[in-house]
Structure 1
Amino acid sequence: MTGEIPAAVAEEQPAPLMRADGVLRAAGLTVALLATVVTAFLELELSALRFGAFAAMLDGDSPYTGSGAPLPIVVPLAIGANLAIAWFAVTTTGRRWAAGPPWALWTLLMLTAAGTRTTEGDYLVGGTNWVALVMILAGSLTFAVYVYRLILAPLSRDSAPLSKDSELSGSV
């Protein structure tokens, strides 16, 4: 015996440990979904910034009253935040599918914002706001590329299904 735990013994976990593991996974996914909502609203707010916003803030006005060219700072922010959220969801849950719910929620929030009219009849994300449109594309593609790379990555040795020979020998 080389100090390895037999497969039958390794699969048995006490019930409190299994429950705690499930609670931690659910908490991880919940935190990832909350972070998705917070960053999505922050990204939507920042998509309207313009280069003249700094001068407007120095004058004591709202940063959204500035003029000039759009400030595309939200595009790298969306890419970084979505990559971090996808990584966090997968890492805390230990499941590859965990990147899906934040991706779906983020995309749903963005598409809802792009298709919602205000009481004045304006869209929240207008068709002329190229920064917001690029942000929606780049943010969703970030999730897509992360999930694609997860699909291409080989399964870890721990999650591989047992073969008939490994069950008989007691090793994984």
Structure 2
Amino acid sequence: MAAAATTYFETGRSIRSRAVERNTDVLASQPARRRGVRTPEFYFTRHFDNTRLVKAPDPVRVREMRVFSAAVTVLFTLIMFYGLQHFSAIEKSYRVESEKQQLDQLREENRQLRLSEAQLTQPSRIDSMARQYGLASPQPGQVVHPNAALDSTNAAPSLAQIAPPAAPQAAPIQ
């Protein structure tokens, strides 16, 4: 079939003259296409007047569409609910993992603090620092324990006293 291009702006020619021209083009091109077998093809213009048609209401179709819409809405709601739960579970698993890492970090920090406390509370270190500040060892009877019973020989508790250092000593370089 030969394509006859018609445009909206083709004025002066009627639809009938264009159809006749197209039919002659088709008839002329048929022998080349069909190898000598002639089958005439004709095109006729048809005019349909649908202005008098009125769509009749179909209650069965309306009910089917409502049921379908309700089913799609329920399915969409279920899928969205599942998605919400799924992404919420993923978010909570990330939060649990970050809190586990934070707990491990706090445990390590606690371990470091305990080691630091153990180093700082060594009796030999405390004794050497006390001697640097001029503190002396307590004399017998200076230490009073609150839970211990008072001796009958020494009924009054005594207070601890600071003894001034004998001579200022130079601090050793470490």
Shared fold by TM > 0.5? no
Question: TM-score band, normalised by the shorter chain?
Answer: under 0.3
Relative CO higher for 1 or 2, CA cutoff 8 Å, sep ≥ 6? 1
Task: Give the structure with the larger helix fraction.
Answer: 1
TM-score by length of 2: 0.23
